[in-house]
Structure 1
Amino acid sequence: MPRGTGRPDPVLRQAMILCGGLGTRLGALTAETPKPLLAVADRPFLDTLLFELGRHGFEEVVLLAAFRSEKIESYIHDNPVAARFGMRLRVCIEPDQAGTGGALAHAAHLADDTFLLLNGDSWFDCNLLALTPLLARGPRAEIALMLRSVPDAARYGVALVRGETVTAFLERPPAPGPA
C-alpha cells in the first residue's frame, strides 16, 4: 500500500478506448469508417494505440463502439498487434450514442476497478504507467488525467487546473488562445 492512503497500489492492466464518435469534422473520410480505423501510415490508427498499450504491459483492451460498430468488431478478429503482445480485445457496443459518459456507463460491467480510458483518435507519446502512482498518491485521487497544453484551445474542451487538481472543465474556451 502506498504510505498513508490505506489503499493498495492500483495496477493498470485494462484500457478502454472510445471508438463511437461520428468523426463529422472529417467529412467523407468517416462517412463509412469509424475515425479510429482510418489509416495512418497505411495502418488503422487503432494499431498505434494497441501497440502503445501492449508495450506498456496492458493485457485487455475494450473498444467502446457505436457508429459502424460492425467495423470495430471485424477489426479485433485476428488482430496482429494484439496477438504480438498477447492482449485480449473486446468490443462493447453502445445501443444509442450517448457520448463519453454513456459509453462508459454502458461498459461499466466490463471495467476493472482501475483502467485507462483513451480517445480512439488521440495519442500521447508518454509513459502510460506514470498515471498509476498518481492514483495512489492521496485518498482523494479517484481519477488521474493526462492533459496537454496547446497554443490555441479554440477547437478543444479545456480543463482548468490549480496545481495538480482539475477545478473545472469548459466545453470550449470563451476566446482563442493558449490553455
Structure 2
Amino acid sequence: MAAFPDMDSHLIEKTMEECGNCEDFDSVIEKLNELCLGYHANINSETTTLEDASTPSNNLRVDGAEWVEFLVNEMMNSTSVDDAKSCARKVLENLESSIRAEAAENLDKEKIILKERTERLTNENVILKRAVAIQHKRQKENYNARNQEVEELKQLVAEYQQRLTSLEMNNYALRMHLQQADHQGNSIPNRFRPDVF
C-alpha cells in the first residue's frame, strides 16, 4: 500500500487477512499503523545495535577470545538476519582496524629497535675502526723501530768486518816481517837469536 511504503508487503497481506480481507478497512489501517510504529521502533533499535557494534572496546586484543565473545554477543542481540550480517560486518571491520593499528604500532616499535641497533652497531664500528687504526699505527712504529735497529746492526757488522779485515791484513804483514827478520837473523854468522820464550 502507498500509505506504508517502508512496510514489508507480506506483513501488509497478513494483516489484511487477519482483519477480514478489507471488510473492515478502518481496522486494517489502524492495525497497519500500530505495526508501522512498531516497525520503525524496531528499525531504530537495529540502528542503535549497529552503532554499538561499530564501537567495540579498544582494549580487546587482536588475537584474544574477547573478539569472539563480542561477535557472539552482537549476533545474539541481532533482531534479524540482515541485522546480524550488518553487525558481523561492523565487528569484522573493527577487528581489521584493530589488527592494522597493532601492526602499525609493532612496526613502529620494530623501527625504533632497529634504529637503536643500527646506531649501536655504527658506534661499535667507529670504535673498532679507531682500535684498528691505533693497532696499525703501533705496528708501523714497531716495524720502523725494528727496521732502524736492523740497519744499525748492519752498519755495526760492516764496521766489524772492516776492522777484522784490517786486523787480518796487519797480522799478515807482521807475520811476513817476522819471517823476513827470522830469515835475515839466520843468515848472520855467530849471531844467535835470543829466546823469546
Give yes or no for TM over 0.5. no
TM-score class, shorter: under 0.3
Max Rg structure? 2
TM-score, with normalisation over the residues of structure 1? Answer: 0.20
Compare the two structures and name the one with the higher helix fraction: 2
TM-score, with normalisation over the residues of structure 2? Answer: 0.18
